Amino acid sequence: MTNTYGMAGKAAMKTARFGLGLAGAERGERDLGSVLKALQSHAARQRFERNALICSEGDAARTIYKIVSGTVRLCRHMADGRRHIADFLLPGDIFGLAEGGRQPFTAEAISDLSLIAYPRVQFDRMAEESALVRANLLAHLSENLAAARYHHFVLGCQNSKERVMSFLIRLAARSDVFAGDHLELPMGRQDIADHLGLTIETVSRAIGALKAEGAISLPSAHEIILNSLNHRNAVAA
Amino acid sequence: MTNTYGMAGKAAMKTARFGLGLAGAERGERDLGSVLKALQSHAARQRFERNALICSEGDAARTIYKIVSGTVRLCRHMADGRRHIADFLLPGDIFGLAEGGRQPFTAEAISDLSLIAYPRVQFDRMAEESALVRANLLAHLSENLAAARYHHFVLGCQNSKERVMSFLIRLAARSDVFAGDHLELPMGRQDIADHLGLTIETVSRAIGALKAEGAISLPSAHEIILNSLNHRNAVAA
DNA sequence: CGCGTTGTTGAACTGGCTCAAAGGACGTGG
DNA sequence: CCACGTCCTTTGAGCCAGTTCAACAACGCG
């Protein structure tokens, strides 16, 4: 009965209510996005072009980024050339909050990008003063943790086709796209492969197989349609 | 140059300083363990025997557990029989803190177990009142997140021998065991396999190969010695 | 000692990888 | 508008790490 892709939905992640303090937030500051708006006077809009470097793993984490438009990959480059993509950031996503003093990942623009940079000191000040901000921060961390755990499961238990399907479903849910809608795939096959622990060829073949099964349609290589959110077909295979 | 097993060490995880507020903690309450001691009057010691169920995924999370002795596995059981082990808990580890209202995992005793159960409401009250407790909580979440990400990398980028070696090194670091010391392996091969996304046979063979290479010695099936913490030998293979 | 559980080893199979080459898609310049 | 180069994706063929299936060994426990 358990949905194998259970954690995938944005809804599921956002509704994870954090038990600690101030669960019922005042209107207007219900999420971190709204909280950050209060820092607008200290914020700076920045633009990056495709493949530009936003920040590097190990950099001092003095900035909180909020994606306005475009897509970002969070990755680590290994000495031996292997690359690990931890996650993708979509418009509305916030990055640079969850960590200690160092950036845990290199952030790179996948498509032309617009973001807002907030100085972290300002946010920290707010967090010290406002219990509500702290509750939002905890909820944010909690969501990240849930997402990381879900991904752990995907890599630990699923085969290539299941992984790709899980990825597409999560992406659709995060993009507020439903079955039948067009879903843009800004990242390349290699990015998806490095995220799912597969090779580019296997990703391509898995997508082809899902298409052949009728689970998805692909009008173009970077645009897909999920034909059903009954993912059983992918799981069964 | 980057140590492929970089995140493995307890030291690395514990020293992740959380940037937000009160970084320099007062002595005596530097970690969550000490914080919980303040709740001693509300605490209850519990014992479980091997394979006993401590709590189930989805249960209301009203309790914070601190392991006194023994080992716990945190897992999810899939409908189709697959099992995913998210992590193991060792003496001193705390569980039940990082989540919303629901337990994210089923917790089961791997060996005979003794733990202390704290009511969560009491902790939440402390967190509301004390900025220090909150800082510790954030640090705890941050550590969990780092561990989850590291594991994501292990599953995404490493082969079977590397995964087993990563696992052993992390276990040794968490157990405060160094090269040359005996390291107890309370969990069975199947548990390790389900944690690393491998089969029991592959885990057994990987351990055999590491032994043959001289990277480890194993006096018995549940006791190993890491002969070097220069993990390159495993990575290279 | 007998038996159940757990770990190891062997042999065959296969899913995903590697290597290689053939299609697009897109931008640039003629 | 087309020719061309570059980058990315798809497809094909062979191979190998890890799985599967099966048998055996070791250990703990009554």
A57 and A99: one domain? yes
Contacts of B78 in chain A (CB under 8 A): 2, 4, 157
Is A188 a domain residue?
Answer: yes
Is A191 within the bounds of a domain?
yes
Does the residue A6 lie in any domain?
Answer: no
Query: Is residue A159 very low, low, confident or very high in pLDDT (cuts 50, 70, 90)?
Result: very high
Tell me: do A121 and A45 sit in the same domain: yes
- Is a pLDDT exceeding 90 seen at residue B179? no
CA of A234 to C1' of D7 (A): 31
Using a pLDDT cut of 90, give the percent of chain B over it.
69
Say yes or no to pLDDT of B137 above 60. yes
For residue A197, the chain B residues in CB contact (below 8 A) are 155-157
For residue A50, what are the contacts with CB-CB under 8 A and spacing of at least 6? A109, A110, A111, A112, A113
Residue A4 lies in a domain: no
Q: Looking at the structure, do residues B163 and B126 belong to the same domain, yes or no?
A: no
Same domain, B190 and B120: no
Closest-lying nucleotide for A198 based on CA to C1': C16
Cβ distance of B17 and A78 shorter than 8 Å: no
C-alpha torsion sign, points B65, B147, B83, A20: positive
CATH number of A225's domain: 1.10.10.10
A71-84: pLDDT as tens digits: 999 999 998 889 99
CA distance B206 to chain A (A): 17
Cβ of A175 < 7 Å from strand C?
Answer: no
Q: Does residue B8 belong to any structural domain of this protein?
A: no
| Residue B228 belongs to domain spanning | 158-234
For residue B18, pLDDT beyond 70: no
Considering the domain architecture, whether residues A66 and A116 belong to the same structural domain is answered as yes
Chain B's closest residue to A151, CA to CA, is B152
Tell me which residue in A21, A79, A151 faces B124 most closely, judged by beta carbons. A21
> How much of chain A, in percent, has pLDDT values that exceed 90?
70
8 Å CB contact of B98 and A196: no
Within-domain flag for B145: no
**A87-145 tens-digit pLDDT:** 999 999 999 987 778 999 999 999 999 999 999 999 999 998 898 999 899 999 999 99
Distance CA A201, CA A160 (A): 11
Total domains, chain B: 2
Nucleic strand C within 7 A of Cβ A192: no
Same domain, residue pair A98 and A180: no
Dump pLDDT digits (tens) for B44-101.
Answer: 999 999 999 999 999 999 999 999 999 999 999 998 889 999 999 999 999 998 777 8
Where a domain ends, among A112, A130, A148?
Answer: A130
Q: Is B141 on the interface with A (CB under 8 A)?
A: yes
Domain membership of residue B17 (yes or no) is: no
Contact A102, A58 (CB under 8 A): yes
pTM over 0.85: yes
Q: Which nucleotide is nearest to B197 (CA to C1')?
A: D18
In the complex, which nucleotide's C1' lies nearest to the CA atom of residue A201? Answer: D10
Looking at the structure, tell me whether residues B122 and B37 fall in a common domain: yes
Cα dihedral sign, B89-B95-B100-B101? positive
CATH number, position B108: 2.60.120.10
Q: Are B163 and B118 in the same domain?
A: no
Beta strand ranges found along A17-101 (DSSP E) = 44-48, 53-55, 63-69, 72-77, 83-89, 94-95
